[in-house]
Amino acid sequence: MFSDSEIQKFRSLKTPFYYYDMGLLQETLDEVKTHGLSKGYHVHYAIKANFNFEILELIKEAGLGIDCVSGKEIERALEAGFDPEQIAFAGVGKTDDEIKTGLDADIFSFNCESLQEIEVLNSLAAETGKVANVSVRLNPNVEAKTHKYITTGLTENKFGVNPENLPELFIKLPDYKYINLTGIHFHIGSQIRDLQPYIDLCKKVNMIQDMFERNEIYLTHVNVGGGYGVNYEDPDGEPIPDFESFFNVFDEHLKLRDNQQVHFELGRSIVGQSGNLISKVLFIKEGITTNFAIIDAGMTELIRPALYQASHHVDVLTSTKPEKTYDVVGPICESSDTFRNGISLPEIERGDLVAIRTSGAYGEVMSSGFNLREKVPAYYSDEI
């Protein structure tokens, strides 16, 4: 929740805007350190979730690396001062230029998603004379029980290599002189709140490790990806995901070989709860059965509700009146531009401020200029 002085400050700022709780981000990172880094695990922050420099600075200070899915993200991570040795590069459609960006920077690992990509990487690396470290992204066929747009680990999926195609890779590998196959990589989806999919993943990883061993390929790195979820319904009740239970799953279920390093790629669980979209109520429209609270933020600032039917907790910051039922909607010319339907909120008037919570991940970074709307500013709790 927000202090009176924060709300006072919000009133003086032009809305809408993003507001980041840097204290909460630090506490979250401390939990990752205590339960993950302390076990010797490597955690790469998935920079696509939020790439603001202020946020990257705290993440870098905490000792995390970066997981990128584009060449520009590699450049951003380098600009923010991350060590290339801690940068992993995934993505199903890497262009030649993006691959060259990774080669030039001598990144820790290319997470390759198809056999053809490995072949292309080998020939591009040959041109530079460098040997690229590769983790092959495998599809473990694990059901992540999340929204269909953010599940990525099933067999029929554009992501990753089907383990059935591994024998082909094993045959071709000796010809790839500029590839050093150092690891295997997995990422089963996003906003996963249940730990069972991760237990299932560990079991698949163990089986796949056996396959590599039978082919006398020694892997130094196992990257189990990210996807750990946050509590969108009750951000005050659970401001930090339970990282202790999360990392313990891998501690308990992964069968590691000697000197094998474990890597994670967490995005949402690190930055999700620290971000809020602050917006002003423009109009109240009393419908026949529904009251619409029309606010000045829309799907252009936070597309998750429109894209994934995501539901974000909404707080009214400037009213303590008895509650009424509202649909909270944005100003964009799309019916999907709706944040919540039929929720109870303290009675709202034009000019009241609302906070759309848990919008630190996949919020600001997915904003668009639809309707010629301008990019909104970001403020940080340690500056305000």
Ligand X SMILES: *Cc1c(COP(=O)(O)O)cnc(C)c1O
Contacts with ligand X, residue ranges (CB under 6 A): 46, 48-49, 67, 69, 90, 187, 190, 225-228, 265-269, 361
Nearer to ligand X, 247 or 326 (CB): 247
Token pair in block for residue 124: 């591009």
Nearer to ligand X, 268 or 313 (CB): 268
Around 34, how many Cα atoms within 13 Å sit in the side-chain half-sphere? 10
Strands 275-286 and 378-380: unpaired
Nearer to ligand X, 265 or 352 (CB): 265
What does the alpha-carbon distance between residue 5 and residue 101 come to, in Å, rounded to a whole number? 45
| Least Cβ distance, residue 170 to ligand X (angstroms) | 23
Strands 17-20 and 275-286: antiparallel
Using alpha carbons, select from 377, 367, 369, 360 the residue that is nearest to residue 50.
Answer: 360
| Least Cβ distance, residue 106 to ligand X (angstroms) | 20
| Least Cβ distance, residue 137 to ligand X (angstroms) | 7
Give me the residues paired with residue 223 across strands. 185, 263
Which run of H or of E encompasses 134? strand 132-137
Nearer to ligand X, 49 or 262 (CB): 49
Tell me the residue nearest to ligand X as measured from the CB. 267
Query: Residue 318: which residues within 8 A CB-CB, separation 6 or more?
Result: 7, 11, 351, 352, 353
| Least Cβ distance, residue 229 to ligand X (angstroms) | 7
Nearer to ligand X, 280 or 304 (CB): 304
| Least Cβ distance, residue 331 to ligand X (angstroms) | 28
CA angle (274, 358, 57) in 5-degree steps: 25
| Least Cβ distance, residue 111 to ligand X (angstroms) | 6
Query: Which residue's structure tokens are 């591994």?
Result: 166
Question: DSSP class of residue 351?
Answer: T
Nearer to ligand X, 48 or 94 (CB): 48
